[in-house]
């Protein structure tokens, strides 16, 4: 049986069309193996919540991902399937998302009887910070950041809408702005009440000193800083959050398995391997965030 050049061409086309499916299956397998290994090392349930900017096929339109109802359904199912005595490790990489979905996940985390640890390799802003507040321990990269959780109404911060009402005479304010101000007051009260619930959680033990709770709520919910202002590990520690610095190297390896989709020329590029053989880097040891100042 002989093959012509035309037959080989069609075989090549068939293999090329199947290659993306093989690559996807291979990547999924590596992700599952990495998660399973991390679970075995920590003896815990690992939940990975990551949101990156993606592109729609063909059109190349950037599509930002956020915490959604679909995410809360999946995370709640993972928590429900976790035995009460098994710790939960939540790895967060997110700009935030829907308040409803975030609060559902956060409530489920504080109701879990075993220890809940949140890992932040890069950033967990807005709703991501709220999920971190639900944890018994927050472990961050020394350059990672959290963010405020002040409510946003449409494109405007609730605190800024209230500032307009305070600064302008009532006769110069239109009805829509007054309605937005009323909603802003309610939104801020609701967020403050929920954040207090997270910070006062004392099971299995008190994670936030009672004398720090009011200051944390004031800093994070009242719009003292812009919604995208980063809160460093040093600032989070000064506020009294249970922050520890130093991520396991396996988390960085996990992040490599969830890369930013590439489209055209990469915006960041480097040679990932050293030019000459070098000894392996030591496993970083966790340390309180407050120790960073003493070492600088």
Please say if the pLDDT value at position 52 is more than 80.
no
pLDDT tens per residue, range 62-118:
445 789 999 999 999 999 999 999 999 999 999 999 999 999 999 999 999 999 999
pTM: 0.80
What pLDDT sits at residue 272?
65
What pLDDT sits at residue 55?
45
What pLDDT sits at residue 66?
86
pLDDT tens per residue, range 231-243:
999 999 999 999 9
What pLDDT sits at residue 288?
65
What pLDDT sits at residue 162?
94
From residue 259, how far is each of 64, 74, 252, 253, 254 by CA, in Å? 14, 21, 11, 11, 10
CB 203 within 8 A of CB 113: yes
Tell me which of 143-157, 214-228, 259-273 is least confident.
259-273
Compute how many other C-beta atoms are within 10 angstroms of the C-beta atom of residue 183: 15
Catalogue all structural domains in the chain, each as residue range(s) with its CATH number.
1-147+230-260+291-296 (3.90.226), 149-228 (no CATH)
Rounded to a whole number of angstroms, the distance between the first and last alpha carbons of the chain is 73
Please say if the pLDDT value at position 198 is more than 80.
yes
Q: Which are the contacts of 135, defined by CB distance < 8 A and separation ≥ 6?
A: 90, 109, 116, 117, 118, 207, 242
From residue 90, how far is each of 54, 237, 246 by CA, in Å? 22, 20, 15
Mean pLDDT, residues 9-36: 74
pLDDT tens per residue, range 170-197:
889 999 999 999 999 999 999 999 999 9
Please say if the pLDDT value at position 211 is more than 60.
yes
Q: What is the residue-averaged pLDDT of the chain?
A: 84
Compute how many other C-beta atoms are within 10 angstroms of the C-beta atom of residue 252: 13
How many residues are recorded in the chain? 296
Mean pLDDT, residues 254-260: 83
What pLDDT sits at residue 259?
79
């Amino acid at each position: 049986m002989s093959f012509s050049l035309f037959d080989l061409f069609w075989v090549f086309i068939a293999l090329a069309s199947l290659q993306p499916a093989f690559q996807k299956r291979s990547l999924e397998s590596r992700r599952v193996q990495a998660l399973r290994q991390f679970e075995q090392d920590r003896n815990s349930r690992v939940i990975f919540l990551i949101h990156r900017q993606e592109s729609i096929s063909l059109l190349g339109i950037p599509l930002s991902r956020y915490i959604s109802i679909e995410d809360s359904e999946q995370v709640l199912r993972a928590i429900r399937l976790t035995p009460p005595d098994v710790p939960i490790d939540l790895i967060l990489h997110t700009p935030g998302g829907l308040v409803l979905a975030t609060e559902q996940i956060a409530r489920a985390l504080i109701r879990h009887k075993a220890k809940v640890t949140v890992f932040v390799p890069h950033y967990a802003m807005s709703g991501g910070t709220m999920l971190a507040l639900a944890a018994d321990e927050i472990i961050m990269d020394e350059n990672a950041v959290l963010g405020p959780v002040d409510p946003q109404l449409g494109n405007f911060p609730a605190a800024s809408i209230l500032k307009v009402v305070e600064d302008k005479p009532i006769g110069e304010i239109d009805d829509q702005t007054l309605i937005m101000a009323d909603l802003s007051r309610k939104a801020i009260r609701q967020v403050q009440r929920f954040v207090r619930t997270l910070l006062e959680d004392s099971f299995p033990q008190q994670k936030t000193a009672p004398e720090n709770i009011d200051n944390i709520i004031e800093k994070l919910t009242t719009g003292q800083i812009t919604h995208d202002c980063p809160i460093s590990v040093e600032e989070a520690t000064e506020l009294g959050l249970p922050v520890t610095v130093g991520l396991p190297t396996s988390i960085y390896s996990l992040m490599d398995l969830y890369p930013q989709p590439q489209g055209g020329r990469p915006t960041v590029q480097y040679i990932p391997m050293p030019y000459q053989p070098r000894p392996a880097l030591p496993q970083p040891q966790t340390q309180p965030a407050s120790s960073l100042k003493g070492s600088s």
